[in-house]
Amino acid sequence: MNSSFNKLLTFKILIIILMVSIFSTNFLFIERVDALSDSKQLVLDAWTLVNEGFYDPEKFDEIQWKRIRQKTLQKQIETSEEAYSAIEDMLRPLDDPYTRILRPKDYELLKSSNFGSEINGVGLQLGDDDDSNKIKVISTLGGSPAEEAGIVSGDFIDKVDGVSSEELGLANTASKLRGESGTKVLVEISSDSGDIREVDLERRSVDLRPVRTKRLRDDSHTIGYLRITQFSESVPKKVEEALQELKEKEVEGLILDLRNNSGGLVSSGIAVADSLLSERPVVETKNRNGIKDAIISQKETSFDGPMVTLVNKGTASASEILAGSLQDNDRSILMGEQTYGKGLIQSLKSLGEDSGIAITVASYLTPKGNNIQGQGMKPDKLLDLPDVSEYGSADDKWVRNAELFLDSLLEKEEVSTKTIELNNETV
């Protein structure tokens, strides 16, 4: 009996070992099947970054964001390019053109434009037009092939090398316009009036020269002119140096030119506001957790004299933050046209070894709580004047209008000062 019992026990143990072995093998097999390839891991990483950072999480419930992840990972994704296309499809329901995948070339070029002083391309800053769903020109860079071809803010990009921009989308349209110096790209442009034309643009290295300055003199006053074309990392320091140079030239007033400045690094725009505002609110941000306290400027300023700020429909994003802070704090009047109206802030994240993803993480409000997104900033004084080929030149009537306004302000200050002195003498 003991022998039979022992045999039965041994048999049961063998069965258990066999079952454990089978289940272990199956478990390992499941693990191996479920393990993600590098390409699918790229997709999952992109989903996770957006899930953790996107400024409007309520949108996730609306579009069934988790189900989108599941369906995307079920696709056949074997190459990096297939992963990028899958991520584009995954992000499309968010309906936010600024949350986008950046392929290696685009990622490198975007980093170069934010941190360097030149970029290869045609010199166009693009955005989505909410009314027409077309790709719209926000601004052209000074001295660029696009500017020389007569492309202006408000034009639409219909096709790039024969491919519809509607089919390409914002990110891919911008990508097709970039490339090596010396190569050409055929662009179909349309205007608000419906005129359509084709231009053959040769890509080249565009010197961004983000900060430019000069002194304007007339019979009675000396005015400083400061133009900022974009907000890259180096701009705050360059602005400090420019303001110091203008102070040494004893300028009495300042014209800040933000026309066709389509933005850049928000932190740089805020740092420039620091140079012009003393302990005043610069901007409020609204992220997924609500409205944060306003960012307050430092006490010391680099220039505290009277100002005029020039803006137009190509003034966008970080430049609107700066313009809004100056206007709401009564530090400077705005003169020109209604600004573009981009009030969303993106965070740039690395994805894999050489690609990236831009994620809209917040919207911003001016110190008085005005939402710029889709609305823009309204100038205190509208200017209906023709544009010029070179901003700040002798032919620039916008600058001349700003100069005349500053002259009148300075004359009023002089009269006020003389009146005070006269009253003091009387006393």
Furthest-apart CA pair in the chain: how many Å? 131
What residues have CB less than 8 Å from 393, skipping those under 6 apart? none
Q: Domain check: are 127 and 250 in the same one? A: no
Tokens 């565009």, residue? 206
Return d(Cα 345, Cα 21) in angstroms, integer. 54
**Any domain includes 131:** yes
- Looking at the structure, tell me whether residues 197 and 223 fall in a common domain: no
CB 267 within 8 A of CB 299: no
Q: Could you report the per-residue pLDDT of 71-116, keeping only the tens digit for each?
A: 999 999 999 999 999 999 999 999 998 899 999 888 887 776 655 4
Phi-psi region of 211 (alpha: psi -120 to 50; beta: other; left: phi over 0): beta
The residues carrying an active-site annotation are: 317, 328, 342
**Minimal CA–CA distance to 198: which of 207, 190, 206?**
190
Consecutive H or E run containing 26 = helix 2-34
Inside any domain, residue 105: no
Please tell me whether residues 66 and 88 are part of one structural domain.
yes
The H-assigned helical ranges of 233-331 are: 235-248, 266-276, 318-328
Q: Decide if 56 is inside a domain.
A: yes
Instruction: Look at residue 349 and tell me if it is in a domain.
Output: yes
Same domain for 233 and 302: yes
Residues 160 and 251 in one domain: no
Confirm whether 111 is domain-assigned: no
231: DSSP letter: B
Query: 333 near 82, Cβ under 8 Å?
Result: no
Burial class (CB in 10 A: 0-12, 13-18, 19+), 422: exposed
- What token pair was written down for 258? 């933000």
Decide: helix, strand or coil at residue 5. helix
Q: Are 242 and 132 in a shared domain? A: no
Q: Are 23 and 128 contained in the same domain?
A: no
* Within-domain flag for 245: yes
- The DSSP code for 278 is S
Last residue of a domain, which of 183, 207, 231?
Answer: 207
CA 293 to chain centre: 22
Residue 125 token pair: 């800053």
Q: Which tokens in the block code for residue 9?
A: 């026990």
- Domain shared by 138 and 203, yes or no: yes
pTM, two decimal places: 0.75
Same domain assignment for residues 141 and 274: no
Whether 170 and 187 share a structural domain: yes
The answer to whether the CB of 78 falls within 8 A of the CB of 388 is no
The amino acid present at 406, given as its one-letter code, is L
Task: Judge whether 384 lies within some domain.
Answer: yes
Write the CB contacts of 265 (distance below 8 Å, at least 6 apart in sequence).
Answer: 114, 231, 232, 233, 235, 318
Cα distances from 353 to residues 49, 51, 124, in angstroms, run: 15, 21, 27
No. of helices (H) and no. of strands (E), the chain: 12, 20
One domain for residues 231 and 182? no
CATH assignment of the domain containing 201 = 2.30.42.10
Q: What is the DSSP letter of 178?
A: -
In which domain, by residue range, is 285 found?
216-412
One domain for residues 201 and 63 = no
Domains contained in the chain, number: 4
pLDDT values of the chain reduced to their tens digit, one per residue, 427 residues: 455 545 545 555 544 544 444 444 444 333 333 567 889 999 999 999 999 999 999 999 999 999 999 999 999 999 999 999 999 999 999 999 889 999 988 888 777 665 544 455 888 878 777 677 788 888 787 778 998 898 988 899 999 999 998 888 877 888 888 888 889 999 999 988 889 999 999 988 776 678 999 999 877 889 999 999 889 889 999 999 999 999 999 999 999 999 988 888 899 999 999 999 999 999 998 889 888 788 999 999 999 999 999 999 889 999 999 999 999 999 999 999 999 899 998 899 999 778 999 999 999 999 999 999 989 999 999 999 887 767 888 889 999 999 999 999 998 876 665 554 445 554 4
In a domain, 24, yes or no: yes
**Tens digits of per-residue pLDDT, 179-200?**
888 899 999 999 888 899 999 9
